[in-house]
A and B are shown apart, each in its own frame.
Chain A
Amino acid sequence: MSMPFYVSPEQMMKDRADFARKGIARGRSVIAVQYADGVLFVSENPSQALHKVSEIYDRIAFAAVGRYNEFENLRIAGVRLADMRGYAYDRRDVTGRGLANAYAQTLGTIFSSGGEKPYEVEIFVAEIGDAATGDQLYRLTYDGQVADEHGYAVMGGAADVVAGYLKEHYAEGSDLTSALRLAVAALGHSEAGDRVVPHDDLEVAVLDRTRMQPRKFKRIRGQQLTDLLGPRGPEQPGAPLTDDGATAAPAAGSATDDPADPTDTVSGSVAPLEDPVSGEPLPPVTGGAPQQGTEPAVGPSTPPPAPPA
């Protein structure tokens, strides 16, 4: 009989966190910006059908990055929870805070339970009030932590770079047009330079308190999106995967960005566009598809990777 390797709890949690963080960092960013009439979501998503931003209830929206099947599962659970509660009690009794708590408990349980792999997702739950002071924006991470965000928030691949851009340029109480232009510019911003994110790759939605209907969630697309964006330069799609890592500032040593390796410390400055179904990076345009679907097994039966030197 073989003895299982001993894994210290600290190491196990760290491995799981690294694994989840790495999965999340593969996708492109999602931005949430509070503006005068509500909350705006902008994301770079080449799929028109598989959404990263969705409606949960009258005044509540959901945005996620990471693995599609996992956050879709959470989204459906959230819709069920909200509709159940609204049906059993009243529409006003469905709150963003309640939903964020439910997600936090669920993600936390999955993260700390030994048997399951942690969810590779990060989530925004936003709720708008009758005035801008009543707006709420929660960020939930893969381990069930909840943070109350103000003004703007970014999650996903190049979150730090994008958040840096927003920090410099964000102004409170701006209108939809300027908030949208700011968010789209931030999405196109990277250390290597700015680019114009193509119109068709943008997924934009708002929770707009000025809407007459009780359901305040609305997608902005097509001509309306073009009008709001105004004149822009020539569109530049995201860098293909082959460039990935080339512009990254390498960490000390000769570490490389390997998506299959949860322990490496380097990731490309521009995350590749991911496959919307699997959440995996799209293969480069030239050359064969690299095999990246294999996830490293996690759990007590796996020996801990050697700590980085």
Chain B
Amino acid sequence: MSALQGGGANPFVGLPASFMTPGTSSFRDFLETHQPDLLPGSRATGLTGAGDLAPHGTTIVAATFEGGVVMAGDRRATMGNIIAQRDIEKVFPADEFSCVGIAGTAGLAVEMVRLFQTELEHYEKIEGSTLSMDGKANRLAALIRGNLGLAMQGLAVVPLFAGFDLDAGIGRIFSYDVTGGRYEETAFHSVGSGSLFARGSLKKLYREDLDAERTVQAVVEALYDAADDDSATGGPDVTRRIFPVVQVITADGGRRMADEEVATIADRVIDGRMRRPDGPAAELEGPRR
């Protein structure tokens, strides 16, 4: 490869030697050797308190149902007490059978998602086969781990990963911490500032026998409850018709639920809240008086 060394400076003339070097099928690992400045984690400065400089994404909710999984995210990004954006998207398809939603520093989160999407597609093209569900979850953990330096500066990114496992035939959900810890969740989970309220809400609303549409309604209810009690989470914006981004993934692949479909479900939720602002009531055990 000696003759190729000269091409290393400009990637668009010839193929630089590192491109022709056999080895990794991971895009992140390739960037690390070829162009590390493109990796988010390489920009840690060692300073702290950068958290207030950039917008933050807030609440993501995911829940499984028979034959699939749904993920939804509210549309608000905040910067301190300011609403930085009211129609931000925080839930993205990762590949055909999985999606990722990210809470935390919005700019880094979007970059992380792009890196993760490229990582999965890159592997698929190089190896000719897709990663297993656990493989994908572990790759995302590695990307988050690489971001630890930035997280210490206050620029944390915390994803929620969900997808349909073709081998097991079920929807699965994985949560993460800033150190790259990976935890599989059963039934439902939520991350972000409003996650406590969303999780409490889902505890009372979620049932395993719900179909896809009812599961979406349950997560929209959960986001409503999160927005109700957390100032950083945006509720359904009825005047601007801005509703949560919802991804539904089944054995047929993932799709983003059309805005009109989500609007219909959100309107149903809002109607219910008009009558009972606290949302659907759960049954208590024991005889009724």
Contact = CB atoms under 8 A, between A and B. Distances in A.
A76 B27 CA distance: 11
B15 A77 contact: yes
A48 to B, nearest CB: 10
B22 A106 contact: no
Interface in A54-68: 54-56
Interface centre among B14, B27, B31, B126 (most CB of A within 10 A): B14
Contact of B14 (A54, A56, A86, A106): A106
Interface stretch (A3-11, A110-118, A242-250): A110-118
B27 A83 contact: yes
B121 interface: yes
A106 B118 CA distance: 25
Given A81-B11, A105-B7, A115 B2 contact: yes
Contact of B125 (A49, A56, A103): A56
Contacts of B35: 84, 88
B38 A88 contact: yes
Interface string B26-39: 01001100110010
B114 interface: yes
Contacts of A73: 20, 22
Interface string B14-27: 11000110100001
A81 B4 CA distance: 15
Given A79-B122, A86-B118, A102 B13 contact: yes
Given A77-B19, A79-B125, A105 B114 contact: no
A285 B11 CA distance: 46
Contact-size category for B: 20 to 34
B115 interface: yes
A49 to B, nearest CB: 7
A306 B245 CA distance: 73
Contacts of A86: 118
B169 to A, nearest CB: 21
B286 interface: no
Nearest to A112: B3
B128 A76 contact: no
Nearest to A113: B3
A99 to B, nearest CB: 9
A102 B7 CA distance: 10
Interface in A22-59: 49, 51, 54-56
A103 B12 CA distance: 10
Interface centre among B19, B30, B35, B114 (most CB of A within 10 A): B19
A293 interface: no
- Chain B interface helix/strand/loop/mixed: helix
Interface centre among A56, A85, A109 (most CB of B within 10 A): A109
A77 B128 CA distance: 15
A105 B13 contact: yes
Contacts of B22: 73, 76
Given A51-B128, A55-B125, A116 B3 contact: yes
- Chain A interface helix/strand/loop/mixed: helix
A118 to B, nearest CB: 12
Interface in B113-161: 114-115, 118, 121-122, 125-126, 128
A98 interface: yes
Contact of A84 (B14, B34, B125): B34
A76 B118 CA distance: 14
A243 B231 CA distance: 80
Contacts of A85: 11-12
Interface in A68-109: 73-74, 76-81, 83-88, 98, 101-103, 105-106, 109
Interface centre among A87, A101, A110, A116 (most CB of B within 10 A): A87
A20 to B, nearest CB: 16
Contacts of A116: 3
A79 B25 CA distance: 10
A87 B125 CA distance: 15
B16 to A, nearest CB: 9
Nearest to A78: B15
Contact of A76 (B12, B31, B121, B126): B126
A250 B11 CA distance: 46
B122 A103 contact: no
A284 B62 CA distance: 58
Contact of B12 (A83, A102, A109, A213): A102
Interface centre among A79, A81, A215 (most CB of B within 10 A): A79
B210 to A, nearest CB: 28
B3 A80 contact: no
Contacts of A88: 35, 38
B30 A80 contact: yes
B59 to A, nearest CB: 28
A84 to B, nearest CB: 7
Nearest to A51: B128
B128 A106 contact: no
Nearest to B3: A113
Nearest to B35: A84
Contacts of B114: 87
A49 B129 CA distance: 10
Interface centre among B114, B115, B125 (most CB of A within 10 A): B125
A80 B35 CA distance: 12
9 contacts: A56-B125, A76-B126, A80-B19, A80-B34, A84-B38, A88-B35, A109-B4, A109-B14, A115-B2
Closest 10 CB pairs of A and B: A105-B14, A113-B3, A77-B19, A106-B15, A77-B15, A106-B14, A79-B125, A83-B122, A80-B19, A87-B118
